[in-house]
Amino acid sequence: MKVIVQKFGGTCVESEDNQLLSAERIMEAKDRGLYPVVVVSAMGREGQPYSTVELVKTVSRVGSSQRPIEARELDLLMSCGEIISTVAMAHLLRSKGYETIAFSGGQAALITDHYFGHAHIVRIEPHHLLAALQDGYMVFVAGFQGVTERHEITTLGAGGSDYTAVALSRVISEIPALPFGEELELEPLHMFKEVNGIMTANPRSLDDSEGAPPRTLPSLTYDECVSMSRLGSQVLQQQAVEMARKYRIPLVVRNFRQADSPRSEVGLQSPAAPDDRATAIVDQPRLLVFDLTAEDPRLPQQMEERLERARLTRYQVSTDAPESRFAVLPTKYRDAKTIIEQVLASLDLSADINDGDFALVSVVGEALRQRLDEWAERAHQVLADSGIEVHGASQDAISLSYLVPESQRRKAVRALHQGLVL
């Protein structure tokens, strides 16, 4: 039996027309003799009645804004969006003559830790899923969610349906045969989105550009994809790509609207590219930056440990000034500020806390590996020639990141894309 895991994002199922297009992609796989395991996100984004954002708003309007909903109840609420869309898609395919079955994350036995809002999958018990495949069902699984050992519903963070799909691919890949002996083969995981694969820059960040538009990357490495996800690309969740890299799960990212749409393949290697061209420019808009000034060497380490335990996404940047500087998304500002105040109190310290409206713009590519100094010089020159203010920088093995004013973000993306990628 050849199994394919297909994941459909929120836009793919937000309307009846889009659901029909997504159903076509599922039926195409079935026509090829494959057995689909379909992971579904909640319908649409803000403004769509069953999107995660709108579900949360139904409760946010109740009671005092000073008393946010408890994390446990929030996960219970947020999991509903994926359940609704999963049942809708399973019913749609059943109406077309296929035998289907829908599972919540808990019913599919995705067991997580107890961290509400950003849980980690600790294991999957695939007995029900395998039995359904054995019986010939087309299997649908609600993304973004799991259950703890105590059967508490948890969610897997923004983009968590990607994580669900990779985790299911991993567990299926490790099972040699179904309960009654039929061998299992796993096809590459297909991630269906509203975009034509992974691109050299976010089209929305270049929509006012007079230069060349971004292009679809036919292939890229796991390391490149992890760096892009970590630094702000919204195409794939970072945790999902890290798991795919760890277990060598091949990924295909493609547009759900057409069978022959452009696509990107993510794997161990990509075709050799010119060593003077980066792979992509990634931007993370609307960041709030904390500057902490306190003459105590314990502060940076304890701050990092607390933020890490809280699973709070942040971007640490270095500056010429003595303060510790890091950036967070506006939605995490209150959480970050609370942690800062707690750490300062525990150390009996006071500190100047400043914040501002910034963005992170990054250059990513295998071409940067072991040549960061050379690439940093080129990137600095491009930004300087374009009049971009740089307020901090960071780097890893294949990326260089620059903290710039939000007002200059698009200009910086355009300049770096034109100068270092195209």
Burial of 46 (0-12, 13-18, 19+ CB in 10 A): exposed
Residue 401: phi and psi, rounded to 5, are -125, 145
Comparing 191-205, 278-292, 335-349, which segment has the lowest mean pLDDT? 335-349
**Partners of 101 in beta bridges:** 139
Residue closest to 358 by CA, chosen among 309, 319, 396: 319
- State the average pLDDT over residues 45-61: 81
Q: Tokens representing 420? A: 């270092």
Question: Per-residue pLDDT for 64 more than 60?
Answer: no
Strands 2-8 and 357-364: what pairing? unpaired
Q: Which two tokens stand for residue 301?
A: 């380490």
In 3-state terms, what secondary structure has residue 139? strand
How far is it, in rounded angstroms, from Cα 215 to Cα 227?
A: 18
Q: What are phi and psi of 62, to 5 degrees?
A: -100, 135
pLDDT of residue 298: 81
CA angle, 252 then 253 then 254, to 5°: 115
Domain layout of the chain by residue ranges: 2-194, 280-421
Instruction: Supply the DSSP symbol for 277.
Output: S
- Percent of the chain past pLDDT 70, that is, above it, reads 95
Beta bridge pairs of residue 103 = 141
Instruction: State yes or no: pLDDT of 66 exceeds 70.
Output: no
Q: Which stretches of 96-153 are DSSP H helices?
A: 127-134
Cα–Cα distance, 103 to 286 (Å, whole number): 37
According to the model, what pLDDT value does residue 296 have? 76
Q: Report how far residue 158's alpha carbon sits from residue 322's, in angstroms, rounded to the nearest whole number.
A: 33
Give the pLDDT mean for 213-236: 95
pLDDT in tens, 142-178: 999 999 999 999 999 999 999 999 999 999 999 988 8
What local confidence, expressed as pLDDT, does residue 303 receive?
A: 86
Decide if 229 contacts 160 (C-beta within 8 A): no
User: Helix H segments across 32-126?
Assistant: 52-60, 71-95
What is the C-alpha separation between 240 and 235, in angstroms, rounded? 11
Looking at the domain 2-194, which fold is it? Carbamate kinase (3.40.1160)
pLDDT tens, position by position, 230-287: 999 989 999 999 999 999 999 999 999 999 989 999 999 877 667 899 999 999 999 9
Q: Do domains 2-194 and 280-421 have the same CATH topology?
A: no
The pLDDT tens digits for 99-146 are: 999 999 999 999 999 999 999 999 999 999 999 999 999 999 999 999
> What is the C-alpha separation between 406 and 410, in angstroms, rounded?
8
The lowest-confidence range among 305-314, 343-352, 395-404 is 343-352
pLDDT exceeds 70 at position 8: yes
Tell me how far apart the alpha carbons of residues 185 and 357 are, in angstroms, rounded to a whole number.
49
What is the spatial distance between Cα 129 and Cα 123, in angstroms, rounded to a whole number? 14
Alpha-carbon distances, residue 393 vs 148, 236, 282, 326 (angstroms) = 39, 24, 14, 10
Which residue shows structure tokens 């026509």? Answer: 31
What is the overall mean pLDDT for the chain?
A: 92
Q: Say what the pTM is.
A: 0.93
**Tokens at residue 419, please?**
């100068």
280-421 has which fold? VC0802-like (3.30.2130)
Spatial distance between the Cα atoms of 248 and 367, rounded to a whole number of angstroms: 22
pLDDT at 61: 74
Q: Which of 85, 94, 91, 90 is nearest to 37 (CA)?
A: 90
The span from the CA of 90 to the CA of 103, in Å, is 10
* CA–CA distance, 346 with 296 (Å, rounded to integer): 12
